[in-house]
Amino acid sequence: MDNPEMQRFLQQEQQKAMMNEMVGKLTSVCWDKCITSAPGSKFSSGESTCLTNCAQRFLDMSVMIAKRFEMK
């Protein structure tokens, strides 16, 4: 493929797909870990804290893994 514009477009679309997949995985993992009962109209403070911490750890780990692959 010699078209640089098309290559950039495809790369952007791949990045979007990876991001959507990561958000879906994060949501699934953190929901299962933090939400132990049927949610009401709001999360409890414990659930909210757990979701925040879980999401942050997930993102930190994703960045660490991405950096590790960049080095190779």
**Whole-number pLDDT of residue 54:** 94
Region of residue 57 (phi > 0: left; psi between -120 and 50: alpha; otherwise: beta): alpha
pTM of the model: 0.64
Q: Tens of pLDDT along 30-67? A: 999 999 888 788 899 999 999 999 999 988 988 888 88
Tell me how many degrees the CA angle 70-71-72 measures, rounded to the nearest 5. Answer: 95
Distance CA 20, CA 53 (A): 20
Full DSSP string of 47-59:
HHHHHHHHHHHHH
Question: 22 or 34, which is more confident?
Answer: 34
Residue ranges covered by each domain of the chain: 2-69
- The helix/strand/coil state of 5 is helix
What confidence tier does 72 reach under pLDDT thresholds 50, 70, 90? low
**Whole-number pLDDT of residue 47:** 94
Q: Which CATH architecture has domain 2-69?
A: Orthogonal Bundle (1.10)
